[in-house]
Structure 1
Amino acid sequence: MNDISEIPNPTDLYAPVAGEDGVVDQVTVNHHDAVPGPKGSEQVMVIETKVTPGRRLRALMECINDKGFVRILETHSGLSGIIAENATVERDGSTLEYDGFWESSLTDSATKGYPDASIVGNDSRIHTIDEILNVTSKPIIVDGDTGGDPAQFRYLVRHLERLGVSAVIIEDKVYPKRNSLDASASQSLEDPEVFASKIQAGREVRLSDDFLVIARLESLIAGVGLQDALDRAEQYIIAGADGIMIHTSKRDPEEILAFAEAYGPLCRRLGKRPVLVSVPTMYNSISDTELAAAGFNIVIHANHMLRASHRAMKEVAQQILESDRSMEADPFITSTAEIFATVGFDLVTERDRKASLVQRLSVIIPAAGRDPAFPDTPKSLIQVAGRHILDYQLEAVRRTGINKIVVVRGHEGQQFGTRYADEEITLCENPRYEETFDLYSLFQAEQHMQRGFVLIYSDILFNHEIVQKLVDTGEDIVLAMDGFYQYHMHEIDKRLDLAISANRREVHHRSLQPAALTEISRLGKDIDREVADYEFVGIAYFSEQGAKTLLDAYKDCQQTARGAFHEAGSFNMASVTDLLQELINRDVTVHGLEIHKGWLEIHNQHDIAVAESEMLPMAPAVLVAD
């Protein structure tokens, strides 16, 4: 912080101010009420948010440089951190939220049932800080009390910086400190030269200038006046303090504003302006906006979360005693469901549900047929970039967590046994592969369908995310549908499995919206390409209920189907899409999940060349999904 223009002065958010020498105090910045984010008012399990310690550490100064001033709220636990992280309000067309957290010595001590008198040690404080960091993503400023002696402070700085803390504030009082808001306590100030050396010690051991060492002035608390505070501020700035916090126990902000007014000329004289910090616990009639206009860069609401929870707990405890039961306390307490959601328990149970579902699922790959383009090998064993199609499929499926994989073999089926003897896959047989089609092959794995399954055609290369998205829909029957099939290069004689949506799309276009579900009204190869909405990719998900519906229809058609069956000459030669159309005709809802990339079907040698051109420069089995 060598240049006076490095830190935006919040005053410039309202009117640029120049000193007598004509130098503008700070650069002008655009004011934003809040850092934009996707969370809104929804409680979020922030452990889902990936933020590195280094990125979090830098975020405080980045936010100050962007906005001029930041709002900071006290947190004393992981739960209070999550609440502070997600608190938002709408005001004047803008979304306001807190820009970071204050880990307070007072509230940390009180949470543990101890007074704020340097009783709780650094190890215990670090544990609380780590709890908050683990479930939040915003910057955190730590109340370092007096910092201890210089050796202790060095270790504290290195530890906090390594955790990703953005700043530590230490006060210029003699150890052991007494809380500044305790009017009965003796407030003994540290010698300013000794305190300045402590600031230097902390700055010397930090690894990055992004970690701030901020000096807290207790002159007004001790009653020694404004000039003493300014003198100490000068010494601490010369010693390298990255910020100055001015504190008072008075309810009138007059002293604080007087200090802020004098701070600008002092910084101009010294040639640099550390951030200015306010903690309006006592003088809370002044707004954050007014403090920013006075020149404060950081406004800390230092103990309100603990005080709010303390009062609420006392009232509920008394209410239960008075009522002789807990029902009367219900209007004043949060539901367990909301607590579960806030701390992410619902996500844990949802993941458990998905994991349980995935563990039950099978993947069935019908691979019995003979393709004239590849007469000497099963299609699953065609080589692409030195590996079989089945190798890529197994890798993609296992990335979803599904481990039950069934391959139905027929043509040249012995090749599977020699090449996949050690693989954990189940091989089923279709001895009638020459006189049947893929539907018959699929049902040779009937015993593996009962608890739900994923159907994957044997000639498809795909990204595992397609399977995950199908399962995640929660629907009973969902087909992966490519909405851009008409722009893909296909062989003239290739008949595509096309689909028409019940909600006809007027145009085919890319969208910022995530993949959408649609209901399929018609499916098959005889659909005119000009009227079709989608191409069926060859990957489908059937829940346990969806599998039962499919099985029931198959068995019924086995008994009743005579002659042609939809687009097939007979039921034995029917395709999977024929039976799906039968379900649609029986008013069973068949959904389509729209995708635009992440898959490739291998029809011929040209398709192999296309696949190899995409896959060789990257890791095996990598296809990009939406």
Structure 2
Amino acid sequence: MEAHDGMSAKIVQEAGFRGVWASGLTTSAALGLRDSNEASWTQVLDVLEYMADATTLPILVDGDTGHGNFNNVRRFVRKLGERGIAGVCIEDKLFPKTNSFLGEAQPLADVAEFCGRIKAGKDSQTDDDFVLVARVEALISGHSMEEALRRAEAYHAAGADAILIHSKKSTAEEIFAFTERWGNRAPVVIVPTMYYSTPTELFRQAGISTIIWANHLMRSSIAAMRETAQRIHEDESLVRVEGSVATVKDIFRITGNAELEEAERRYLPAKPAAAAVVLAAAGGSLGGQAPDQPKCMVDIRGQSLLKRLAGTLRESGVRDITVVRGDRKEAVALQGARMLDNDRHAETGEAWSLACARETIRGETVVVYGDVLFRRYILDSLLTSSAEVVIAVDTLGTNEASSGPRDLVAADHRFSGDYLDDAPAHLRQMGAGLVPEEVCGEWMGLARFSARGAEWLREEIAALEAEGLLEQADMPLLLTRLAARHPVRVKYFTGHWLDVDTLTDLAEARNFT
């Protein structure tokens, strides 16, 4: 299967193919160049190095004409060997080449001269298993079957390990005629781009060794990128495309971020990992739930809402999780998490629940509501912030109708709409009663405290307790008071989170994941 960079090579392997075709056409196209040797052979080598690092599959390189005469071929082959490339295919045309499907009757190389390129390549290989495939362009250029066979035999005698017979007919008649007369004297490779409707089983019956699907990953990516770009340009929004494109998490998976994280744990000095406190004590149910099932345990595609939330925390390295439960606490369960109980959940607020976990707030800590979901990048952004206290605020919250009290945010700096705007924003006030002119967004129920910020948080909890306010205080009041004493950074986001309060929210949550 064709690939043109490291990512596409990984996708080829993931799909189950047995080898990679490093296409000259698509490698050039990925660089924005024509398939006319506009990409130098050293540029091609750079791409191949990334591809070889990205996959364990053997890579057969489209070497065009060999990038020149015999001298270029032998140097190219040596460099391919240094990069662990399995083989190269060179075609019997003149340098610089023109793509086979452009124009008619393209001139072919002199047979004896091309045989010299083959011999030079074979003499220069550094691995006995390296394969040199000779591509016969006679049929493409309008020559006879006899000429194609004559060239194939000469190239085989010169040392070619296989023959690629090329055709631009819409049926495979030429291919089958060639293989019948060739008699399997050497393996035959084909590229059925034009005669794609021929069943592969017929190729097997004809004794063909290898099929190259030559350019379809590039062509499919162009179609997908064009559609996505046009939609975003038309909508000036990501709403229509976000659910139909690969997730950022998928990019991380394909490119091996898990291996990097493991290597970081092995080789880097240990950094105290952040802990999390999940506030899940409040009552509340959604329609259709069992009477004894609290909202945080509602099913989201086979996992509880709480488990989904914990999965996002753990993916970002937050594995020490404390859950403060209350309402129907026996039903609240999360493997690997510490459970603390607010047995006064019916008469106390969120700050009291947080106070139940105050002894766990000793270093970097994430505090999050137990009924929210968010994309991992939001949490990662908070974890990498240099602020001592930082909260996640959705700017879209200012435009949505509220079905009840909301954690509205007033800050000293509004979201400008420009992600290059680095001016920091800080919390001034949070609560449901802000006047519309003051509202900058809605708190997502997610905050991160550095070790120092955690000290400030414990101090504020103690202050509320001393003033007799802790029992009824909610998180907006706690954060507002904290912001009056210390800087509380506001990080703006636009959507990509859910507060699961209604059946509509539940339906969106099942699509959100």
**Structure-2-length-normalised TM-score:** 0.52
2:203 corresponds to: 291
SS of the aligned residue for 1:322 comes to helix
TM-aligned CA deviation for residue 291 of structure 1:
1.4
Q: Deviations over 1:353-396 (max 9, x none)?
A: 676784559xxxxxxxxxxxxxxxxxxxxxxxxxxxxxxxxxxx
TM-aligned CA deviation for residue 216 of structure 1:
0.1
Q: Deviations over 1:283-306 (max 9, x none)?
A: 111233331221111111111111
2:125 corresponds to: 206
Matches within 5 A, 1:416-427: none
2:178 corresponds to: 259
Matched, 1:338 2:250: yes
**5+ residue gaps, structure 2:** 274-316, 322-334, 337-358, 364-513
For the residues of structure 1 that align with 2:116 and 2:9, how far apart are their CA atoms?
Answer: 33
1:149 corresponds to: 69
Q: Deviations over 1:91-112 (max 9, x none)?
A: xxxxxx2001011110011001
Contact 1:316 1:332 in 2 (8 A): no
TM-aligned CA deviation for residue 350 of structure 1:
5.2
For the residues of structure 1 that align with 2:181 and 2:206, how far apart are their CA atoms?
Answer: 11
Query: Which protein shows a greater Rg?
Result: 1
Pairing partner for 2:191 from 255, 279, 296: 279
- Closer/same/farther in 2, CA of residues 332 and 225 from structure 1, 3 Å limit: farther
Pairing partner for 2:30 from 106, 111, 133: 111
For the residues of structure 2 that align with 1:349 and 1:239, how far apart are their CA atoms?
Answer: 50
- Give aligned-pair identity as a percent: 37
Q: Deviations over 1:489-523 (max 9, x none)?
A: xxxxxxxxxxxxxxxxxxxxxxxxxxxx99xxxxx
**5+ residue gaps, structure 1:** 1-72, 88-96, 268-272, 362-471, 477-516, 519-543, 549-626
For the residues of structure 1 that align with 2:153 and 2:98, how far apart are their CA atoms?
Answer: 24
For the residues of structure 2 that align with 1:287 and 1:358, how far apart are their CA atoms?
Answer: 57
SS of the aligned residue for 1:331 comes to coil
SS of the aligned residue for 1:245 comes to strand
Contact 1:146 1:172 in 2 (8 A): yes
SS of the aligned residue for 2:241 comes to helix
Matched, 1:231 2:165: no
For the residues of structure 1 that align with 2:120 and 2:139, how far apart are their CA atoms?
Answer: 25
For the residues of structure 2 that align with 1:156 and 1:276, how far apart are their CA atoms?
Answer: 23
For the residues of structure 2 that align with 1:238 and 1:352, how far apart are their CA atoms?
Answer: 53
TM-aligned CA deviation for residue 176 of structure 1:
1.4
Contact 1:215 1:243 in 2 (8 A): yes
For the residues of structure 1 that align with 2:214 and 2:89, how far apart are their CA atoms?
Answer: 12
**Structure-1-length-normalised TM-score:** 0.43
Contact 2:64 2:90 in 1 (8 A): yes
Contact 2:136 2:148 in 1 (8 A): yes
Matches within 5 A, 1:397-436: none
For the residues of structure 2 that align with 1:100 and 1:475, how far apart are their CA atoms?
Answer: 43
Matches within 5 A, 1:318-397: 318-349=230-261, 351-352=263-264, 358=270
Matched, 1:193 2:112: yes
- Closer/same/farther in 2, CA of residues 356 and 152 from structure 1, 3 Å limit: closer
Contact 1:178 1:186 in 2 (8 A): no
TM-aligned CA deviation for residue 274 of structure 1:
2.3
1:178 corresponds to: 98
**One-letter code aligned to 1:275:** P
- Closer/same/farther in 2, CA of residues 176 and 320 from structure 1, 3 Å limit: same
- Closer/same/farther in 2, CA of residues 228 and 356 from structure 1, 3 Å limit: closer
SS of the aligned residue for 2:74 comes to helix
For the residues of structure 1 that align with 2:95 and 2:269, how far apart are their CA atoms?
Answer: 58
Count of residue pairs the alignment pairs up: 284
- Closer/same/farther in 2, CA of residues 354 and 195 from structure 1, 3 Å limit: closer
SS of the aligned residue for 2:154 comes to helix
Q: Deviations over 1:261-302 (max 9, x none)?
A: 1111xx5xxxxx322101111111123333122111111111
- Cα root mean square deviation, aligned: 2.8
Contact 2:104 2:141 in 1 (8 A): no
Contact 2:93 2:107 in 1 (8 A): yes
Contact 1:78 1:131 in 2 (8 A): yes
For the residues of structure 1 that align with 2:48 and 2:106, how far apart are their CA atoms?
Answer: 27
